[in-house]
Chain A
Amino acid sequence: MAFWRSKTAPSQPESGETPPAEDQAGQGGMFTKFSSGLQKTRRVLGTDIRDLFKSEGRLVDEEFLDELFARLIRTDMGTGPANKIRDEVAKQYRGRVVQLEEVVATITTEIREQLRQDHGGLAKADSGPTVILVVGVNGSGKTTSIGKLANHLRSGGHSLVLGAGDTFRAAAVEQLTIWAGRIGCEIVTGKSGADPASVAFQCVDKAMETGADYAIIDTAGRLQTQSNLMQELQKIRKVIDKRLPGAPHEVLLVLDATAGQNAISQAKGFSAAAACTGIVLAKLDGSAKGGVVLPIHEQFQLPVKFVGLGEGLDDMAAFDPDSFAEALFQN
């Protein structure tokens, strides 16, 4: 596992090379949101990596490294990445007395580098509606994320159609219908138990007919181990592509930030079946850090596109590697 890609880890943050956040108009507000959401997290945990260091610096020994490892593990990044970071810190600092800024800067820089991605925004279709398919395990927050994403796009002046493709769970269609009503956008629904692929087809159809900018399609929650349901996702993809060649343009995997190492298996399974293009990290406003996206990004090159920070319509922010990396360890 090449988590630690750059073999010569820079001990100074490469502030000069930090990529400018792909900021669009109006997103500045979302970053503020991001920070305020994470503020809660920090308040509760109360402790952070700085606690490991006394103001006059601290000797990097086995005990120090163990404590560091504990902090790393608590982000849910997994033992692989945590061991790598620990080893790296040991290599650079063992036997030295270090200042907090030094080590934190190194780790944060490394993680930020790890998460550096080509583009943070949503893909856009060259012509016609951009189709977004949303997938994930049960209870990860798909429907809520769709509501928030739709609101985000709507307030950006885009027209959109929602597709209530979760025809399995009781009242899932109603839930999305309520969101659509709040946002004021079109929704295509099927009967309970209807073929989700047909709902997806109709949704794309409607979006093309009405000339909408986006079509966002919900799917029922499923575990990545349920191969018949994973095949259903492939079918949905196929049907969408039939109606609008090249679609879906985005397949967003919704991950629960409280999830542990199983999220890696989720990313693997859903990527294989539905060719995911990005992640929505939901429920990041809790005390969970969502560090599991690090190994996921590393193994599947799946960028995090959005983070969910609450249950309100506006509680979503574009993912920003810098604040995410900072938030993992810092106040």
Chain B
Amino acid sequence: MFDSLSEGLQSAFKSLSGKGKLTEGNMRDGLKIVEQSLLESDVSYSVVKEFMAHVSEKALGKRVLLSLRPHEELVRIVHEELIETLGPVDPSLHLKADRPTVLMLCGLQGSGKTTTCGKLTQMLREQQIEPLLVAADLQRPAAIEQLKIIGEQLGVPVHTETDHQDPVKVCQNGVDRARRDGNRVVILDTAGRLAIDEELMAQLKRIDKKVGPDQVYLVVDGMTGQDAVNSAGAFNDALELDGVVMTKLDGDARGGALLSVKQVTGVPIKFIGTGERFDALEPFRPEGMAGRILQMGDMVAAAREAHRIVDESERESLEEKMASGQFSLDDFKNLMQKVAQPGLMGRMMGMMPGMSQFKEALDSEEAGGQMKQIIGAINSMTPAERKNPKLIDAARRTRIAAGAGVQSSSITQLIKQFDTMKPIMQMMSGKGGGDRMAMLRQLQSGAMPGMGGGGAKIKQSTGKRLSPAEREKQRKEREKLKRKMKRKRR
């Protein structure tokens, strides 16, 4: 279930199986792979070293060395250690009851401070709190304008002073205005600055001293590399940080910098930004982030997304149908329609462990068109055909194809896909977590029907059966590749 890291570890430990016991020396090879994986995810070097010291201590204990699947055990240790380091969580803004709470956002240029301002506003609006936004970025051209527009879009007041050159004054005036107007929260949007820019860091200190924000959040770009320790350290030295917001985690960045920031600042990670829309701000979950850093996917996020699309009762009846094998083309169509929104399937696949490879295929417009075709084809079937696709003979196939405006081969294709899917769904819904993971793995290894092809032309991977000899050959090639990759990594 643990993608690339696990694969690397497996190959590292593979050479030992059958040759005798796992030793400390062997384990060190495994630890080396973990270390490289963390470095690849942009955790800063010094932080990796410190982190690995903890992990090594645990990994070299008897329990791991004696366990049957040492690589899984090691991944588990790393995962747990990551969760522990990244936690504990504290998504509260600690609002004051008697006076306006002042939140200050700071960070490097382009880390996403102003957008985060909008997202925090949206979150507060959902709690019926109207914050006052203060445009304290007097550096970047049109930064004030940007915050103004965001304020308009969200219907909250924005304090701007175009004639002032001193952000300290602007912030003070903004807080005064909030007190007068009775806003419960003030959000200060400061200018982006380099941590080594002494002048601007001094300015930030002045704001901190004169305005005395209740909560100071460091906004960190999710794609940050090794420099995270330096910049976070400098901000932490200059200000008393209360929390961290990591942005731009809707892409494929592994976000290892968050571990660096956490290690350096020690303050809780509050939220993560997962999109451009104002509602794309999530409370931080160390489990999800740990999975992301280790490239294990985030099952919780995927499940949450799935829950959002299909409501509880529907889901239960669907699962029941799947488990009993009653799942019909009609249900298939319903499900398809739900997930046919552009980008949604791709997003979910991206969150599923090991499924990220399908993300691109599913995200494309082609896939969307394909889904429409499938829905159209099912619509052209009679209720009886939908319940029992076996009824569909050549004549019926021609009729359905004509009705849906596709070639009859597409109908054959669809039915084949459905046939392959059905037993998988049955197994997935009927079994426990472990078996589901095994199924997922099977899916990854190529049983995913019809992905990536365009519309009616999809011909490949319609459940091509391989002979045992072929399969063995493929397996050997895979192993070879793995060994090669391992060698490269050295």
The answer to the question of A190 belonging to the interface, with a C-beta cut-off of 8 Å to chain B, is no
A139-B109 CB under 8 A given contacts A171-B142, A262-B42: yes
Q: Which residues of chain A have C-beta atoms less than 8 A from B490's C-beta?
A: 83, 87
A259-B223 CB under 8 A given contacts A223-B248, A287-B195: yes
Q: Which residues of chain B have C-beta atoms less than 8 A from A174's C-beta?
A: 141-142, 145-146
Contact with B along A106-136 (1 / 0, CB 8 A): 0000000000000000000000000000000
A178-B36 CB under 8 A given contacts A262-B42, A286-B108: no
Q: Which residues of chain A have C-beta atoms less than 8 A from B248's C-beta?
A: 137-139, 223
Query: Interface on chain B toward A: helix, strand, loop, or mixed SS?
Result: loop
Q: Which residues of chain A have C-beta atoms less than 8 A from B479's C-beta?
A: none
- Determine if B489 and A171 form an interchain contact, defined as CB atoms under 8 angstroms apart: no
Number of B positions contacting A (CB below 8 A)? 59
Task: From A40, A43, A261, give the contact of B41 (CB < 8 A).
Answer: A261
Q: Which residues of chain B have C-beta atoms less than 8 A from A73's C-beta?
A: 39, 45, 226
Docked pose: A152 CA to B275 CA in angstroms: 34
Task: From A76, A147, A171, give the contact of B146 (CB < 8 A).
Answer: A171
Docked pose: A256 CA to B42 CA in angstroms: 14
- Determine if A170 and B224 form an interchain contact, defined as CB atoms under 8 angstroms apart: no
A40-B251 CB under 8 A given contacts A171-B143, A228-B343: no
A74-B45 CB under 8 A given contacts A139-B221, A170-B150, A265-B252: yes
Task: From B141, B224, B226, B342, give the contact of A75 (CB < 8 A).
Answer: B226
Task: From B145, B221, B226, B250, give the contact of A76 (CB < 8 A).
Answer: B226
Q: Which residues of chain B have C-beta atoms less than 8 A from A260's C-beta?
A: 42, 223-226, 253, 256-257
Q: Which residues of chain B have C-beta atoms less than 8 A from A75's C-beta?
A: 226
The answer to the question of B93 belonging to the interface, with a C-beta cut-off of 8 Å to chain A, is no
Q: Which residues of chain A have C-beta atoms less than 8 A from B230's C-beta?
A: 44-45, 287-288
The answer to the question of A179 belonging to the interface, with a C-beta cut-off of 8 Å to chain B, is yes
The answer to the question of A140 belonging to the interface, with a C-beta cut-off of 8 Å to chain B, is yes
Q: Which residues of chain A have C-beta atoms less than 8 A from B283's C-beta?
A: none
The answer to the question of A151 belonging to the interface, with a C-beta cut-off of 8 Å to chain B, is no
The answer to the question of B363 belonging to the interface, with a C-beta cut-off of 8 Å to chain A, is yes
Docked pose: A292 CA to B223 CA in angstroms: 12
Docked pose: A286 CA to B39 CA in angstroms: 21
Docked pose: A258 CA to B221 CA in angstroms: 9
- Determine if A80 and B488 form an interchain contact, defined as CB atoms under 8 angstroms apart: yes
Interface residues of A in 240-298 (CB under 8 A from B): 256, 258-263, 265-266, 283, 285-289, 292
Residue of A nearest to B229 (CB): A74
Task: From A44, A79, A224, A292, give the contact of B196 (CB < 8 A).
Answer: A44
- Determine if A1 and B488 form an interchain contact, defined as CB atoms under 8 angstroms apart: yes
- Determine if A79 and B40 form an interchain contact, defined as CB atoms under 8 angstroms apart: yes
The answer to the question of B365 belonging to the interface, with a C-beta cut-off of 8 Å to chain A, is yes
Q: Which residues of chain B have C-beta atoms less than 8 A from A155's C-beta?
A: none
Task: From A40, A43, A139, A287, give the contact of B227 (CB < 8 A).
Answer: A287
The answer to the question of A321 belonging to the interface, with a C-beta cut-off of 8 Å to chain B, is no
Residue of B nearest to A75 (CB): B226
Residue of A nearest to B42 (CB): A260
Interface residues of A in 220-234 (CB under 8 A from B): 223-228, 231
- Determine if A78 and B254 form an interchain contact, defined as CB atoms under 8 angstroms apart: no
Q: How far is the CB of A46 from chain B (nearest CB, A)?
A: 11
The answer to the question of B100 belonging to the interface, with a C-beta cut-off of 8 Å to chain A, is no
The answer to the question of A326 belonging to the interface, with a C-beta cut-off of 8 Å to chain B, is no
Contact with B along A31-73 (1 / 0, CB 8 A): 0000000001101110000000000000000000000001001
A223-B196 CB under 8 A given contacts A76-B225, A171-B146, A261-B42: no
Q: Which residues of chain B have C-beta atoms less than 8 A from A147's C-beta?
A: 141
Task: From A137, A231, A286, give the contact of B223 (CB < 8 A).
Answer: A137
Interface centre among A171, A172, A177 (most CB of B within 10 A): A171
Q: Which residues of chain B have C-beta atoms less than 8 A from A137's C-beta?
A: 223, 248, 251
- Determine if A175 and B256 form an interchain contact, defined as CB atoms under 8 angstroms apart: no
A78-B40 CB under 8 A given contacts A83-B489, A139-B109, A283-B109: yes
Interface residues of B in 294-317 (CB under 8 A from A): none
- Determine if B231 and A287 form an interchain contact, defined as CB atoms under 8 angstroms apart: yes
The answer to the question of A141 belonging to the interface, with a C-beta cut-off of 8 Å to chain B, is yes
- Determine if A74 and B226 form an interchain contact, defined as CB atoms under 8 angstroms apart: yes
- Determine if A70 and B141 form an interchain contact, defined as CB atoms under 8 angstroms apart: no
A170-B146 CB under 8 A given contacts A139-B110, A311-B139: yes
Q: Which residues of chain A have C-beta atoms less than 8 A from B257's C-beta?
A: 260
Q: Which residues of chain A have C-beta atoms less than 8 A from B228's C-beta?
A: 258
Contact with B along A166-183 (1 / 0, CB 8 A): 001111101101110000
A286-B489 CB under 8 A given contacts A70-B45, A224-B252: no
Docked pose: A286 CA to B226 CA in angstroms: 12
Contact with A along B250-276 (1 / 0, CB 8 A): 111110110000000000000000001
Q: Which residues of chain A have C-beta atoms less than 8 A from B195's C-beta?
A: 286-287
- Determine if B250 and A286 form an interchain contact, defined as CB atoms under 8 angstroms apart: no
Q: How far is the CB of A231 from chain B (nearest CB, A)?
A: 7
The answer to the question of B111 belonging to the interface, with a C-beta cut-off of 8 Å to chain A, is yes
Task: From B110, B148, B250, give the contact of A140 (CB < 8 A).
Answer: B110
Residue of A nearest to B224 (CB): A258
Q: Which residues of chain A have C-beta atoms less than 8 A from B342's C-beta?
A: 228
A227-B196 CB under 8 A given contacts A73-B226, A74-B226, A137-B248: no
Docked pose: A174 CA to B147 CA in angstroms: 12
Q: Which residues of B contact A (CB under 8 A)?
A: 36, 39-42, 44-46, 108-112, 115, 139-143, 145-146, 148-150, 153, 194-196, 221-228, 230-231, 248, 250-254, 256-257, 276, 342-343, 346, 350, 359-360, 363-365, 488-490
Known: A137-B223, A265-B251, A289-B227. 9 other contacts (CB 8 A): A75-B226, A76-B226, A78-B40, A141-B109, A170-B145, A172-B142, A223-B250, A262-B222, A283-B194
Q: Which residues of A contact B (CB under 8 A)?
A: 1, 40-41, 43-45, 70, 73-76, 78-80, 83, 87, 137-141, 144, 147, 168-172, 174-175, 177-179, 223-228, 231, 256, 258-263, 265-266, 283, 285-289, 292, 311
